[in-house]
Chains A and B, each alone.
Chain A
Amino acid sequence: MRNGIKEWVDGHVTITVRGKRFERMLNMAVRDGIRIWNIRRVGEEVTRCDILIRDYFRLRPLLKETGCRSHVEARDGLPFWLLRLRRRTGLAIGAALFFIGLYMLSSFVWSVEVSGTKMVDPRRVIQAAEQVGIKEGAWKVKLKEPLVLQKELLSLLPEASWVGIEIQGTKVMLQVVEKEAPVKPLATGPRHLVAKKRAVVHKILPEVGRSQVVSNQLVEKGQVLISGIIGNDARQQAVSARGKVQGEVWYMSNTSVPLKQTMHRLTGEKLEQQYLLVGPYAIYVWPFEKQSFAQAEMAEQRFLPSYAGYTSPLGWKTVTYAQTEPVQTEMSVEEATELAKKFAREDILQKAGKDAFIQDEKVLHVTTENGKVYVSIHFSVIEDIAIEQPFVGQ
C-alpha cells in the first residue's frame, strides 16, 4: 500500500491543514490519486498529514476549493537532502573525492612480489615484468590479459619454464618455475692423458687427442697415453685430450683371517628408559630403578614437537637397550681361505677405482699359524689408468 523508498526518493513534506471541510478535501484528493498518509488530528480543525512534493502542488487547488489553508511543517527525502548538501558543497566534494581517490588508488599496482626463484635473481624477474608493464604504479586497466602477459614474460625469461601472474588487489604475485638447467661439462684447458701407474695397456680408446701407445704395451707411471697436441710438426694445436685407457695392473694381497671368531648376538632382552627433555638437559623419568646390561646395543628415539621452524623446548626421549651376548665360532681352513679371498677382492677393487674388474687371481700360498690363516693372492686387474695432466699450450 505504501512504498517507503519511493516516498523518500521523491521527497515528501509534512503539512498542517487548517479548515472545516478537511474530510471533503481528503476525499477529493484521494479520488484524484494524491497520496496522503499519516493523517492525524492535532486540534480543532487542524490536521497534520504527509504528502509527496509533487502531490502538494496538485493539492493546492483543492485546498482553495474547500477553503482550507496549508502550512509546511517539515521536509524530508532525497531532494531536500540534496538541497542541504548543496549548501555544504565542500563536504559533498570531499566525500566524492574520497571515493574517487579510493577507487583510483585501488586500480594501480602497488607492489610486485616474486616467488619460486632459486637460480634466477628476483630483481631480474622484476625487471622483465617492468618491460611487459607490470611495475609499481602501473595502471591495472592498461595491463594486458594475464595469459598474454604470462607469454611475454616467459619469452623474456628463458630460464623459466612457467611464470604465473596473479593480481590480488593492488599486489601482483609472480610465481616463477625455473627450468632444470642441464649440467654443463667443465671447460678444460689443453691436457694430456698420462698413466697413473705402471701397467700393460689393455685397451685404448682416444676421443680427442692422439694415442701414443698401443695395446699390450708396458707403460711406466707418468707416460703420455693420449697426447693433447694434434697436427703435424708444421701446424700444431693444443687440445684437451679425452678418452679411455684401460690397463692391466698387478697387485699382491696378503690377508690374514682368524679361525676363531667372536660375534655379538642379540638375546631379545630389552630395557627401555624414558627421559624428559628440557632444553639441553635430559631428565631421567622411568623406570624407577635404573637397570642395565653388561653388553648391550643402545638405540635412542627423540620426540620434540615442532611447527613451522619452531621447536618446542620440551620433549621426550626413549632409550632402548637390547642385550647382546658373545658367540664364538670356529671355521675350517677352507672357509677361512674363501673369506680371506673375499676380503682381498673387495680391498683390491676399492684400490683400483670404479669400472675396474679382476681379470685373474692366483692364490700363491696359504699357511695356518697361531690360529690364523695367512693367504697371499696375486691379482691382475683391468682398470682405468689414465689421468689428466694439464700443460701450457703454445
Chain B
Amino acid sequence: MKRWSRRLRQLAGGVLDLPQDVVLEVPRITMIGHLQMYIENHRGVLHFSEKELRLLLTNGQMIVSGEQLVIRAILPEEVLLEGRIGGVKFLETGPQSS
C-alpha cells in the first residue's frame, strides 16, 4: 500500500512538474553561504550540540555538522540554524523500516 502511494506521488511529481519537497516528504533547505541554514519539513530534533545538529526526517535523518551552531528559532516543522556550517549528511532508513 505504501509503495503504491509512493509510486503515485513520484508519478504526479513528474507529470505535473511539482517541486519535489511538496510531493515527497523531504526537507527543503535554504543556505546562506556557510553562515545560515533554514530547514523546512523536519520531524524533530534528535541531537544538538555546538558541532552537530541531528534532525529526524520522514525517511531517515539529517546531520548538519559545523562549529558554534546556534538554533536561532525553531517551529514544529522549521529550524533556523546559524554558525559555521561544515557539511550536511543524510541517513536514509528507507520507507520499509519506518
Q: A: which residues have CB within 8 A of B?
A: 1-2, 22-23, 26-27, 30-31, 36-41, 47, 49
Contacts of B15 in A (CB 8 A): none
With A1-B78, A30-B76, A31-B76 as contacts: A37 and B71 at CB distance below 8 Å: yes
**Interface residue? B49 (CB, 8 A):** yes
A39-B71 in contact (CB<8A): yes
**Interface residue? B90 (CB, 8 A):** no
Contacts of A36 in B (CB 8 A): 71, 74
Known: A2-B72, A27-B44, A40-B70. 15 other contacts (CB 8 A): A2-B73, A23-B45, A26-B74, A30-B74, A31-B76, A36-B71, A36-B74, A37-B73, A38-B71, A38-B72, A39-B48, A39-B71, A40-B69, A41-B50, A49-B71
**Interface residue? B80 (CB, 8 A):** yes
In this complex, the member of B47, B71, B75 whose beta carbon has the largest number of chain A beta carbons within 10 angstroms is B71
Q: B: which residues have CB within 8 A of A?
A: 44-50, 68-76, 78, 80
Contacts of B74 in A (CB 8 A): 26, 30, 36-37, 39
CA separation between A23 and B54, bound complex, in Å? Answer: 10
Question: Can you list 14 A-B contacts with CB-CB less than 8 angstroms, sorted by A residue number?
Answer: A1-B75, A2-B72, A2-B73, A23-B45, A23-B46, A23-B47, A26-B48, A27-B45, A30-B44, A30-B74, A30-B76, A39-B71, A40-B71, A41-B69
A23 to chain B, nearest CB (A): 5
CA separation between A37 and B69, bound complex, in Å? Answer: 13
Contacts of A37 in B (CB 8 A): 71-74
In this complex, the member of A22, A37, A41, A49 whose beta carbon has the largest number of chain B beta carbons within 10 angstroms is A41
With A23-B48, A27-B45 as contacts: A38 and B75 at CB distance below 8 Å: no
Contacts of B44 in A (CB 8 A): 27, 30
B25 to chain A, nearest CB (A): 18
CA separation between A31 and B44, bound complex, in Å? Answer: 9
Closest 8 CB pairs of A and B: A39-B71, A27-B44, A40-B70, A41-B49, A41-B50, A37-B73, A23-B45, A1-B73
Contacts of A47 in B (CB 8 A): 48
In this complex, the member of B50, B70, B80 whose beta carbon has the largest number of chain A beta carbons within 10 angstroms is B70
Contacts of B73 in A (CB 8 A): 1-2, 37
CA separation between A279 and B75, bound complex, in Å? Answer: 85
CA separation between A293 and B73, bound complex, in Å? Answer: 100
CA separation between A248 and B13, bound complex, in Å? Answer: 127
B63 to chain A, nearest CB (A): 14
Contacts of A41 in B (CB 8 A): 48-50, 69
A62 to chain B, nearest CB (A): 14
CA separation between A1 and B71, bound complex, in Å? Answer: 13
